[in-house]
Amino acid sequence: MRISRSLQALSIFASLSVLGTATSSNATVTEWAESEGGRMRVVTLDVDQNGMLQAGLEIELKQGWITYWREPGEAGIPPHIEASSPGGGVTVQSLVFPVPKLIMNGEMRDIGYDQSVLLPFKLGAFDPSKEISAKLSAFIGVCQNICIPFQAEFEITAGKSSKATLDERQIIETAYKKLPLQPDDNFKVVSYAHKHDNTVAFDVLLPEGAGETFEVYLTGPNGYAFSSPSNIKKTGRHAVFDMDVSGLPKRFSMPGSNWRVLIKAGGKAIESPLQF
């Protein structure tokens, strides 16, 4: 089944007021910005010798609320972070996501998180010998019965006087442990191919003890995700299945396109790049 960002849902988001308050930091952690569905803040570590700053957007959700993965599903907005600094040059280098889950909201299928989550990201480039101020703008969607856009501005300082605490390091380290694993010989995509019937055929080696069930999130162009494998045949640890990608734009060309697939099985998850 195709899961794509809904234009109707986006218009609903656009029509609502953006919530959240501007916050300023001490050295390595900002104050919380509050919204109806939860709150968020930024945690930072120390600038490394290459001028990179490891950070995380920490999102605490209220009971019954959700937020979204990098591809949110049928309705929702993916998290987005931008950075700026007085002298320029500070940019968001990467934003990575812990393993999400499929969340059913009536007939709507969302991909995201129904518990608090931290999204790790990196900022560059800083001069480790100097103290530099930067502004971060974070924009996420939080949803219960209605979906509310939540935007907040944060100010951080980084450089020689900023020293992260052990608690802040543990917050970031714990988030990285929740990211998808790299494929290995115990759990990997053995082969994949785009077929003429507009499906992608997969052969996957599942991890030991995976059991009979697994989940697949196939993502291609921004705004498109597919999460319903079909024609499943399982032999031992090998699972063969198809993913229907017929929901793509008619003029979209598969050859040369870059995709990713995230597979969850046996309490583990891997994410593999795919190139057609």
Q: What is the model's pLDDT at position 187?
A: 98
Q: What is the model's pLDDT at position 95?
A: 96
Q: What is the model's pLDDT at position 20?
A: 52
Taking the chain, what is the end-to-end CA distance rounded to the nearest angstrom?
Answer: 20
**113 and 11 within one domain:** yes
Q: Is residue 183 part of a domain?
A: no
* Residue the block writes with tokens 């950075």: 83
Alpha helices, DSSP H only, in 7-126? 7-15
Which among 230, 228, 239 is positioned nearest to 205, based on CA atoms?
Answer: 239
Which among 72, 47, 218 is positioned nearest to 139, based on CA atoms?
Answer: 72
Q: What is the model's pLDDT at position 158?
A: 78
**51 and 94 within one domain:** yes
Cis peptide before 138 (omega within 30 of 0): no
Q: Is residue 32 part of a domain?
A: yes
Q: Could you give the dihedral angle defined by the CA atoms of residues 169, 174, 180 and 182, in that order, rounded to the nearest 10 degrees?
A: 60
CATH number at residue 204: 2.60.40.2320
Its domain, for residue 137, covers: 2-177
Which among 189, 183, 192 is positioned nearest to 243, based on CA atoms?
Answer: 192
- Give the angle subtended at the CA of 101 by the CAs of 226 and 236, to the nearest 5°: 75
**169 and 192 within one domain:** no
CB 9 within 8 A of CB 74: yes
DSSP string, 119-141: EEEEEE---TTS-EEEEEEEEEE
**203 and 166 within one domain:** no
**193 and 159 within one domain:** no
**219 and 98 within one domain:** no
pLDDT tens digits, the chain, 276 residues: what are they?
333 334 344 444 444 444 554 444 445 899 999 999 999 999 998 888 888 899 999 999 999 999 999 999 877 889 999 999 887 778 999 999 999 999 987 778 899 999 999 999 999 877 777 777 889 999 999 999 888 999 999 999 876 666 788 888 899 999 999 999 999 999 999 999 999 899 999 999 999 989 889 999 999 988 889 999 999 999 999 999 999 998 888 888 899 999 999 999 999 999 999 999
CB 137 within 8 A of CB 161: no
Q: What is the model's pLDDT at position 89?
A: 79
Q: Is residue 17 part of a domain?
A: yes
Q: What is the model's pLDDT at position 145?
A: 80
CB 121 within 8 A of CB 138: no
CATH number at residue 124: 2.60.40.1250
Q: What is the pTM of this model?
A: 0.87
Rg value, the chain, Cα: 20
Q: What is the model's pLDDT at position 165?
A: 84
CB 112 within 8 A of CB 97: no
Our count of domains for the chain comes to: 2
* Three-class DSSP labels, 154-193: EEEEECCCCCCCHHHHHHHHHHHHCCCECCECCEEEEEEE
